Structures are given as structure tokens and as C-alpha cells.
């Protein structure tokens, strides 16, 4: 069984995930630079900005490292509502 997601849907999902990540980061009182400083491995603050704005599709590994930096479960980063209001 194959499920295809249109480019519009993919873009919307990336924006929703990015918004969720930004909300979590801000709720912790952290800047993007501070998140990068807490992440294992190399990451550029501009990459965090692109993720939060939905302009890039982060890898699972990046999401895992962000979750660790934000001290949340990885599933919290993608906990989004796709229902149309």
C-alpha cells in the first residue's frame, strides 16, 4: 500500500512541525543558539530557523537530538493537529 502526499500537504506538515518545535523551544525560554549548544553533534543555528519555519525537512536523527536538547520525548516534536479549523 502506497500513500502519496502532495507537495502542498508536505509543506503544511513541515510548517506545523516547525511551529510545534518553536513553541516547545520558547516554552523552555531557549534561543535557537542555546538549542544548538545543547545538541550533540554539529548543527547550525540557521538550520534550526529553517526547521521552525517549515523550510526544511529535518532528519529523524536531527529531531532526536533536538528532543534531547529540549528535554522532551521525540514524539512531542511531531505532536500536531492536522484538523482544519
- DSSP character string of the chain: ------HHHHHHHHHHHHHHHHHHHHHTT--HHHHHHHSSS---HHHHHHHHTT-S---HHHHHHHHHHHTS-HHHHT-------
- For residue 14, tell me if it sits in a domain: yes
- For residue 71, tell me if it sits in a domain: yes
Overall number of domains in the chain: 1
Angstrom distance (rounded) from CA 26 to CA 3: 34
**Please, what is the average pLDDT of the chain?**
89
82, 76, 65: which is closest to 23 by C-alpha? 76
pLDDT of residue 85: 46
pLDDT of residue 42: 83
- For residue 84, tell me if it sits in a domain: no
pLDDT of residue 24: 97
Give the structural domain span for 64: 10-77
- For residue 2, tell me if it sits in a domain: no
- For residue 82, tell me if it sits in a domain: no
CATH number at residue 49: 1.10.260.40
Render each residue's pLDDT in the chain as its tens digit; 85 residues: 455 667 679 899 999 999 999 999 999 999 999 999 999 888 888 999 999 999 999 999 999 999 999 999 999 999 987 655 4
Amino acid at each position: 500500500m502506497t500513500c502519496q502526499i502532495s507537495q502542498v500537504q508536505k509543506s503544511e506538515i513541515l510548517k506545523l512541525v516547525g511551529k510545534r518545535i518553536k513553541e516547545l523551544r520558547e516554552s523552555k525560554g531557549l534561543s535557537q543558539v542555546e538549542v544548538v549548544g545543547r545538541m550533540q553533534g554539529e548543527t547550525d543555528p540557521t538550520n534550526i530557523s529553517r526547521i521552525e519555519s517549515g523550510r526544511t525537512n529535518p532528519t529523524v536523527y536531527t529531531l532526536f537530538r533536538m528532543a534531547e536538547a529540549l528535554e522532551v520525548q521525540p514524539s512531542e516534536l511531531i505532536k500536531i493537529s492536522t484538523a482544519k479549523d
